[in-house]
Amino acid sequence: MQKIKHRELAELIRICRYSSDVDDKVRILYKINAMFPKSARLNFPSLLTKDYVNKALDIIEERVDVEARNSAITTQ
């Protein structure tokens, strides 16, 4: 996975999680997803709900955590 800006990503995830407007949540989720290489991006269904956005954020956070752990292991 290419280098992504972890601080920017974490901030966008935080903003997305706490936004009450579903349209804003979806817009931010698309922006977050675009930060990843095409091969690592999530494929979204045509109808995005608030629950789906939260689940997608969970998946993205898990991927970033795994990448960070792998990077830490390889640099030691």
- Over residues 18-43, the pLDDT tens digits come to 999 999 999 999 999 999 989 989 99
The DSSP-derived string for the chain is -----HHHHHHHHHHHHH---HHHHHHHHHHHHHTS-GGGPPPPPSS--HHHHHHHHHHHHHHHHHHHHHHHHHH-
Task: Output the pLDDT for position 1.
Answer: 42
- Please, which pLDDT band fits residue 72 given cuts at 50, 70 and 90? low
Burial class (CB in 10 A: 0-12, 13-18, 19+), 48: middle
Query: Taking the domains of the chain in order of start, what are their residue ranges?
Result: 6-75
pTM of the model: 0.83
Write out pLDDT tens, residues 37-68.
899 899 999 999 999 999 999 999 998 888 77
**DSSP character for 39?**
G
pLDDT on residue 73: 62
